[in-house]
Amino acid sequence: MGIMALFSLPGTLTALGAILAIPVWRVVYNLYFHPLSHFPGSKLAACSRLWLAYRELVRGESLSDLRVELHRQYGEIIRLAPNELHFSNPAAYNDIYNHRNKWDKDHLLYRAFDLDMSTVGFIHYSDVKHRRDVLAPFFSRTSILQMQDLIMERVNVLCEALTHQFAAGDTKGKSSDLVLGFHCFSVDVIMAFCYAKDWNATRVPDFQSDIVLASQAVLPIITLRKYSGTLVKIMRRIPMWFGQNFGSPATRALFSLRKTFMDQIDEILRNPASLENTPHKIIYHSLLDPDANKGRPLPSRLSLRHEAAALLGAGSDSTSIASTTISYYVLHNPEVQRRLVNELRVTWPVLEEVPRYEVFEKLPYLTAVIKEGLRISPAITALPRVVPQEGATIDGTFIPGGTVVAQSFTYVHRSPIVYPDPDAFIPERWLGEDAKTHEASLSAFSKGPRSCIGINLAYCELYLVIASVFRRFDLTLDAERSGDMTITEHFVPVFKGPHLHAYCKPVSD
């Protein structure tokens, strides 16, 4: 007897109708009855998030390019998904990201990291406020100034590696992959600064560090997980032994990193006195300090693991992208490079006598180069926030409560109204009369209560590494091995073409 004989035709049709009715009603509701139904945008985008998933995952489009295309087609406020709006007028930025708005992060994006109990992953301001307060002294300017030698040691290792790589070539020298070099450097800094671990990614030949390659390889999976909470849950259940033994090289690297974090956390939880043996304060001194936690329960083992992974992720990709971008534009603008090197040589005349960070940060041209680099850097994705129940006015338009809203800082940084000639790399704009206004609009670290907690560390790294690389080496672009700065977006920007390569010839004086 065939299986169909078990079912009557009317019964089957009724069942099918019932199954289809819910999604069909959902689409009709989204198109005609949803509070956002009058906002412009693609009708398919309004129907379901599946359309966005199709564009990103199947067609492989970068969300940042797609947003630009949709704004061109539909105007300054677009409906990007049934419940999500995106804004292109730079005036909208301060309406969304400011200190008054304690708005939730959108869980559909942030769940993709599976780090729900970390500073990056907490959805509600009330949860993150406490964690940020606990970590604030650790990332304060005072703490960074005290720890700058530790960062400088990692700069020195990077410079040694660049020297060796150059020496490995023929008369012209061998060029170095600066994308990987800066990424290895920033991983080494976070591992040392936050966990007192000598990770030595920078010492791996040609910067082929497994953890750096893995963290770049894993980014498309974040994009995939944005669209499937189930996938996040399934991946969470992969046992450590399985990932470490049977995964791809990238998976294995990420699982061993997780094990490194877990082993350290377990050791500290088992024996809190072991914290007295670290060479300097690490994040667990703050996270497990009852006074800093002001009587609230201390973070759980899982929360500590989430925080460890979140800080490494947040603190390494971003800084290396900024360092790469700055170097790219300096190498493509010989006059900028000349002015920068001249300023560095005057302040740092004897190579062995390296100035302190406090000296570098006062250098006007170096500062202008770094600020201009942060301005022109490709952005982390448009950071989605949820409008509170009472609704809000953004860019002069009332937005109903519960709507997910976002704007990429690129729309501020590349606006000709805010920064004239925005696509050109012009450090001089930070030295003129408009410097203060430019400063107020600089949003690379985001604004408001969820802005970057690592800003002091980031600036210290950028000043030390850019000053050192451009002072200690005569840098020239390896045009044959380098691409341009086009990116695809996987939460953070990922450079699409060949990596930036430069010949780093050591200078003798």
With CB under 6 A as the rule, give the number of residues binding ligand HEM: 22
With contacts defined by CB under 6 A, name the span among 86-94, 199-207, 212-220, 442-450 that binds ligand HEM. 442-450
Q: Is 10 exposed, middle or buried (0-12, 13-18, 19+ CB in 10 A)?
A: exposed
User: Which member of 244, 347, 446, 476 binds ligand HEM (CB under 6 A)?
Assistant: 446
Structure tokens at 9: 């035709």
In the bound state with ligand HEM, the residue whose beta carbon lies nearer, of 41 and 121, is 121
Find out whether 194 is annotated in a ligand binding site.
Answer: no
**What is the distance between the alpha carbons of residues 204 and 102, in angstroms, rounded to a whole number?**
43
- In angstroms, give the least distance from the CB of 406 to ligand HEM: 10
In sequence order, what are the residues at sequence separation of 6 or more whose Cβ sits closer than 8 angstroms to the Cβ of residue 230?
Answer: none
We find the least distance from the C-beta atom of residue 340 to ligand HEM, in angstroms, to be 18
Count Cβ neighbours within 10 Å for each residue of 387-423 and write b for 16 or more, e otherwise.
beeeebebbeeebeeebbbbbbbbbbbbbeebbeebe
Whichever of 94 and 175 has its CB closer to ligand HEM, that residue is 94
Verify binding: residue 452, ligand HEM, rule CB under 6 A: yes
Q: How far is the CB of 200 from ligand HEM (least distance, A)?
A: 19
Q: Is 119 in the site for ligand HEM (CB under 6 A)?
A: yes
Residue 326 found at the interface with ligand HEM (CB under 6 A): no
Is residue 117 a contact point for ligand HEM (CB under 6 A)? no
Strand partners, 84: 81, 404
151, 179, 214, 322: residue in contact with ligand HEM (rule CB under 6 A)? 322
Q: Classify residue 506 by burial, with Cβ atoms within 10 Å: 0-12, 13-18, 19+.
A: middle
Nearer to ligand HEM, 314 or 467 (CB): 314
Bin 451: left if φ > 0, else alpha if -120 < ψ < 50, else beta.
beta
Taking CB under 6 A as the binding criterion, the range among 216-224, 231-239, 331-339, 453-461 that sits at the site for ligand HEM is 453-461
| Cα 36-37-41 angle, rounded to 5 deg | 90
Q: Position 489: which residue type?
A: E
Tokens of 335: 């006059």
Report if residue 120 touches ligand HEM, rule: CB under 6 A. Answer: yes
Question: x-or-dash pattern for ligand HEM, window 164-203, by CB under 6 A?
Answer: --------------------------x-------------
CA-CA-CA-CA dihedral for 269, 270, 274, 280, to nearest 10? -20
Closer to ligand HEM by CB, 46 or 466: give it: 466
Query: Collapsing DSSP states into helix, strand and coil, what is residue 498?
Result: coil
Q: Strand 501-506 and strand 175-177: pairing?
A: antiparallel
Interface residues for ligand HEM in 300-319 (CB under 6 A)? 311, 314-315, 318-319
Closest CA to 364 of 382, 385, 346, 390: 346
Q: Is 175 or 320 the residue whose CB approaches ligand HEM more closely?
A: 320
64 binds ligand HEM (CB under 6 A): no
Q: Which is nearer to ligand HEM, 81 or 314 (CB)?
A: 314
User: Which range touches ligand HEM (CB under 6 A), out of 162-170, 174-182, 393-401, 439-447?
Assistant: 439-447
**Is 344 in contact with 471 (CB distance < 8 Å)?**
yes
**Among the listed residues 63, 115, 187, 380, the single contact to ligand HEM using CB under 6 A:** 380
Provide the minimum distance between the beta carbon of 488 and ligand HEM in the complex, in angstroms, as a whole number.
Answer: 18
User: Measured from the CB of residue 489, what is the shortest distance to ligand HEM in angstroms?
Assistant: 13
C-alpha span between 501 and 272 (Å, rounded): 45
Element (H, E) at 104: strand 104-105
Q: Examine residue 148 and tell whether it contacts ligand HEM (CB under 6 A).
A: no
Instruction: Choose, by CB under 6 A, the member of 212, 292, 340, 457 that binds ligand HEM.
Output: 457
Residue 444 in the binding site for ligand HEM (CB under 6 A): yes
Q: Are 119 and 311 in contact (CB under 8 A)?
A: yes
Q: Which residues contact 165 (CB under 8 A, 6 or more apart)?
A: 174, 175, 176, 206, 504
Q: How far is the CB of 136 from ligand HEM (least distance, A)?
A: 11
Written as one letter, the residue type at 319 is T
Nearer residue to ligand HEM within complex by CB, 139 or 503: 139
Give me the least distance between CB of 43 and ligand HEM, in Å please: 30
Residues that bind ligand HEM (CB under 6 A): 119-120, 128, 132, 190, 311, 314-315, 318-319, 322, 380, 383, 444-446, 450, 452-454, 457-458
Known binding residues for heme: 452
Known binding residues: 452
